[in-house]
Structure 1
Amino acid sequence: MQRLFLVSLPRRLFLPLLMVVLSCTFSVATAEAKVCHLVVIADTNDKTIGQSVDIDQRNVTGVFRENVARNQLSVQTLSGNEVRKSRILSTIQNVNRRMSKEDTLIVYLAGHGAEDRRLGHYFELSSGEKMLRNDVLRSMNSKDVRLKVLITDTCSVFKRLKAAASYAQPQSTNTTSAAFVSLCWKPAGEIDMSACSSGEFSMGDNISGGYFTSQLVNYLDRNRSREVSWGQLFRSVKQSTAQVFREKNPRGVPGPDGETQRTQTPIARLDMDSGDSGGGSSTGPRFGVRVINSSGRGVLITEVLRGTPGTQVNVAGLSGPVSLEAGDRIVSINGRRIDSESDYARAVDDSGQAMDFEVINKRDGRTYRASVRLTR
């Protein structure tokens, strides 16, 4: 699966959505009352990547069945001819509406995708339909629940291998593992995780599936007996995905723009009330500023979370810290031009604790230089 950047050069993406909530401080009796709702969408009809996507689908559902108690797990899978835009969105909405307020919703989607600089990331379904990532996020907001997680593994370049993967049927469990308790029921908020950054291919094969998804599943399986945070998970999976990419592609791969891609860099937005980002947040509590792609310069701020660094910004020429506002535009970070949500997420993620940026004020249209101290 490859990522396709429509404005410059087309690149294909595989976009799996995964929304997960974890918890570790509750007693078994308390955790029993909560349910993790997992929706897995696998575009297995694609003739090129269908087998690799099917491996990802089985690996994701398998690790949840082996780690979350039967009475705390609800799994719904869409694959083959079921993968159509209307079916996907209505399924997520219906699952969301049936959930209790303290439940967790996790949506995972694997297949092809692309990115448009104005509309953002979208999915290219084998049915011929296009589905915006934002449409999926909106369908997850039919009802307010404790934690919503979207994980996407698209933009995965398929590599044909001779051997086929063997698969053992997962064994359901009666008890939820420590890792899944801490991940599914401790934090509250939203998580949006993607397998690669804008402009990159997300790689995979038909032996282990997508590099990103296989490392995600391996991490969950390896750490099932201990408490972990989403930030720890993302930081580890990000590092191991890049390592696997380099091991399997020591000379890199030809990129969509003709240049050689040397790595694969997952990105994530971790917006959680617990503040437990573990250093993995790209556009969440680390800065607390949510943005969307825009037809104008930079990215458009849609929300600034209370109590986050985005409310304590130092602006050149002004005395005392001020808060950014919805409608302001961020045009550069640490000297790097920001043209998309992916540019923004990567720049915040790569920044040290002190971050310099330029922002266009919505009130007077002027560009200001600003600085902020990020969390962790």
Structure 2
Amino acid sequence: MWQPNLVNYSFNLYGQFHYICGHKETTICEPEVVIKFKRGKATMAKTPSSILATQFIILSLLSSFAIILVQGEDQGFVRSLDPKLLGLKKEKLSHFRFYWHDIYSGKNPSAVGVVRAPTNSSTLFGSVSMIDDPLTQGPELSSKLWGRAQGFYASASQQEVGLLMAMNFHFIEGKYNGSTVSVLGRNQVFNKVREMPIIGGSGLFRFARGYVEARTHSFTPSTGDAIVEYNREKLTHICLYWHDIVGGPHPTAIDVVPPPSKSSPTNFGLVRMFDNALTQGPELSSELVARAQGFYASAAQKELSLLMAQNFAFVQGEFNGSTITLLGRNSVFNKVRELPVIGGSGVFRFAKGYAEASTHTFDLTTGDATVEYNIYVLHY
């Protein structure tokens, strides 16, 4: 096979690659640096370009070779990376709560109008304000400063006061010092709770995703100053009556696994699936608020104790579509039984708490029971 005696590689300022064999070039260019390889030796011929440009081109050469190697390995311009190479560790969930101080008044305002509303709009449609607002631990401006909210908000609705919010939460304390969380979303300021997406971050919050909830803590109409609380956890108490109907033509609880032994005094091993009504009052005819869906299993050989796994699925009111999940032990002959709340959905995302169950009525003939549930749940 014919072997060329001389192979020239030339690179221009943008790192483009050209191959020259003998006197024929596949791509015509005017090289600034030519590196010649002959008999295992390399020599460099300089053109009138500056030394600085030469050094830059050599870096381009090295970069181009790196790109070629990557492309050759992964068959394209995309490659998979080990997250550890970027310093990424196991993903975790964090909750922050702080107060956002939007100050228009005084000698040192943290928010200034940069674009006036073009028309005499009741919502100031088109106006833009730039912010560098303190983020503090408590509602007082004098409380510990955790960071600053830097960005802008713009009135983007003609029919209501609805703001486009674009801001970075820049942290200046603790292990988060220097890291940021980026928020971009819609803020209907007169709503009690406003939810906005977290779209990214930097530092410890690289690849961040999530959401923030904003609640107005105070507002001064004369100055326009406002204090807004971001992400407040709250405690809710819910009282419902749980109707477990085993007998009759329309049971809401049915056996799906019979007890393996008929001699067991506790029906050990029995599993019963249920779709029980949860009503506002103890009467089955009272207002239906939710349904308890799940199963209970006889899980003790010496006493009547049930493993309870159920979701309370709300069907109306402010919690409509949300769920609360319970998983725990129910010693049914105890006057009060406590079961953990382990989670939820909708309004009850990240929920935690407990439920107290007290038997209201029990029919020995049919096995039907009405149980009062008092649920204490922490959620956002």
Which has the higher relative contact order, 1 or 2, with Cα contacts under 8 A spaced 6 or more apart? 1
Which structure: greater helix fraction?
Answer: 1
Larger Rg: 2
Q: TM tier, shorter chain? A: under 0.3
Greater share of strand residues, 1 or 2? Answer: 2
Give the TM-score, by structure 1 length: 0.23
